């Protein structure tokens, strides 16, 4: 009987318990990492994670800072508005007392005196806050402080002289809060010269 020899080109059978690189999906061309290289790779990965954590934390801190800053600005604006309303509320009390006193006594003069007193008190409080009235009558029109809403032809005053104030203007320091609404003088309209006799006949 003739013995059959195994084919020499048959694939070798892997040892039991071992998996070839090709079977595991890993290319056999990749170099194997030693312990030091593997630890270095893990260290770099940990460094990247730490940087990412620090970045996210800094971003969260920045958002918190912006939110706190916005809240503080809103509170400061509200506090300033509350302080500005103080003189108005005090003047409102004075007006209320004047009206109540006039209603009880049916005295118009008492009402007028009370209103004038309340107005002077309000103006004084506004002055303490740096708010002053813009003067107008008799002055030349200043576009930065006056708004001309009406003109009156007249020969008694130079053109653009403020003749009347319809609504007072106010400023705080050099800043104009509201320009005064005024009437100003305009050059009088000249009447045409009388026609000559010959022109009238024609």
For the segment 120-143, what is each residue's pLDDT rounded down to a tens digit? Answer: 888 888 888 788 888 888 889 999
Q: For the whole prediction, is pTM greater than 0.85? A: no
Q: What whole-number distance in Å separates Cα of residue 159 and Cα of residue 70? A: 50
Q: How far is CA 57 from CA 43, 51, 64, 175, in A?
A: 21, 10, 11, 44
pLDDT in tens, 137-162: 888 999 999 999 999 898 888 999 99
**pLDDT reported for residue 33:** 59
Pairs from 166-173 (Cβ < 8 Å, separation ≥ 24): 168/133, 168/134, 168/136, 169/133, 169/134, 169/136, 169/145, 170/126, 170/131, 170/132, 170/133, 170/134, 171/131, 171/132, 171/134, 171/145, 172/129, 172/130, 172/131, 172/132, 173/130
């Amino acid at each position: 009987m003739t013995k059959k020899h195994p084919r020499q080109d048959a694939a070798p059978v892997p040892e039991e318990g071992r998996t070839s690189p090709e079977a595991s999906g890993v290319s056999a061309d990749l170099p194997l990492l030693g312990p030091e290289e593997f630890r270095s790779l893990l260290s770099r990965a940990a460094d990247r994670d730490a940087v990412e954590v620090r970045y996210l934390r800094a971003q969260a801190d920045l958002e918190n800072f912006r939110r706190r800053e916005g809240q503080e600005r809103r509170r400061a604006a509200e506090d300033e508005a509350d302080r500005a309303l103080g003189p108005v509320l005090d003047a409102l009390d004075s007006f209320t007392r004047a009206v109540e006193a006039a209603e009880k006594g049916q005295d118009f003069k008492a009402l007028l005196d009370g209103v004038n007193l309340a107005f002077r008190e309000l103006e004084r409080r506004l002055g303490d806050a740096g708010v002053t009235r813009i003067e107008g009558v008799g002055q030349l029109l200043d576009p930065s402080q006056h708004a001309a809403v009406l003109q009156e032809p007249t020969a008694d005053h130079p053109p653009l002289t403020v003749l009347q104030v319809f609504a007072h203007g106010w400023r705080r320091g050099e800043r104009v809060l509201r320009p005064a609404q005024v009437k100003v003088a305009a050059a009088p309209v000249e009447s045409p010269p009388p026609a000559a006799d010959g022109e009238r006949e024609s």
